[in-house]
């Protein structure tokens, strides 16, 4: 008989085949969890986005993005999967069983995403939210202080203001490439300083942030 739950998941599957599929790595055969992993990746991204959105009503988008990346990256998901002892349940091919730690961790992270998708398909959105919220709670509680995650432009501006200096000026030096593959070059300069830094990015903002990093590095290391 197929299992309809996993210790620590706190969810009972109505259809245990969904759980079985989620636990089946592609090295096991052609019917495997790859499609579920695709869906699960999107689900965990969204659920964690909402948790952080509600948890930090004052954080700007950039800091939320960085916090989220810390939760949904493979390394973190692998740790959660190991906490669930997923490696005792995942079905992988014999060749794959001999693979090294890093490969094994990546399989476990992918499997966890597939399990999230299986919960979603089996029990609906609210059940998936419950399971993901529970399993990411500790990680989210231990994220770095959002203050440290301020974007470089903000940090540069605050550093200057704290010293009574004027805010930096950002100027677009060039904008090249077709609409879907733009490249911006932005120059960052201070009114009271002859040194300027230019940097590129796929959007005006990204280029500004990259230029701010260079300026900030210099100011902090003078």
Q: Is 4 one of the binding residues for its own copies (CB under 8 A)?
A: no
Question: What x-and-dash track marks residues 41-70 binding its own copies by CB under 8 A?
Answer: xxx-xx--xx--x-----xxx--xx-----
Any catalytic annotation for residue 151? no
**Burial state string for 189-207 with b = 16 or more CB within 10 A and e = fewer than 16:** bbeeeeebbbbebeeeeeb
Residues 81-120 that bind its own copies (CB under 8 A): 102-103, 105-106
Any catalytic annotation for residue 113? yes
Distance CA 141, CA 145 (A): 10
Q: Which of 37, 110, 113, 122 is catalytic?
A: 113
Size of the site for its own copies (CB under 8 A): 32
Of 35, 137, 171, 218, the one binding its own copies (CB under 8 A) is: 35
Residues 142-201 that bind its own copies (CB under 8 A): 179-180, 182
Q: Is 37 one of the binding residues for its own copies (CB under 8 A)?
A: yes
Show which residues are catalytic.
41, 113
């Amino acid at each position: 008989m197929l299992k309809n739950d996993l210790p620590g998941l706190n969810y009972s599957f109505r259809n245990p085949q969904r759980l079985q599929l989620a636990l089946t790595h592609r090295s096991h055969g052609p019917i495997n969890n790859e499609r579920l992993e695709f869906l699960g990746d999107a689900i965990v991204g969204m659920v964690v986005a909402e948790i952080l959105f509600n948890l930090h009503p004052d954080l700007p988008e950039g800091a939320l993005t960085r916090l989220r990346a810390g939760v949904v990256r493979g390394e973190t998901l692998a740790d959660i999967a190991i906490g669930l002892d997923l490696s005792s349940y995942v079905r992988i091919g014999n060749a794959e069983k001999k693979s090294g730690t890093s490969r094994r961790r990546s399989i476990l992270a992918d499997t966890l995403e597939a399990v999230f998708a299986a919960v979603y398909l089996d029990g609906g959105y609210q059940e998936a939210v419950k399971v993901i919220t529970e399993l990411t709670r500790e990680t989210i509680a231990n994220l770095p202080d959002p203050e440290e995650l301020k974007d470089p432009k903000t940090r540069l501006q605050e550093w200057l203001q704290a010293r009574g200096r004027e805010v930096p000026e950002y100027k677009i030096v060039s904008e090249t490439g077709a609409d879907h593959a733009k490249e911006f070059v932005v120059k960052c300069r201070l009114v009271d300083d002859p040194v300027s830094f230019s940097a590129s990015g796929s959007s005006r903002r990204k280029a500004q942030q990259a230029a701010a990093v260079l300026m900030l590095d210099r100011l902090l290391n003078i």
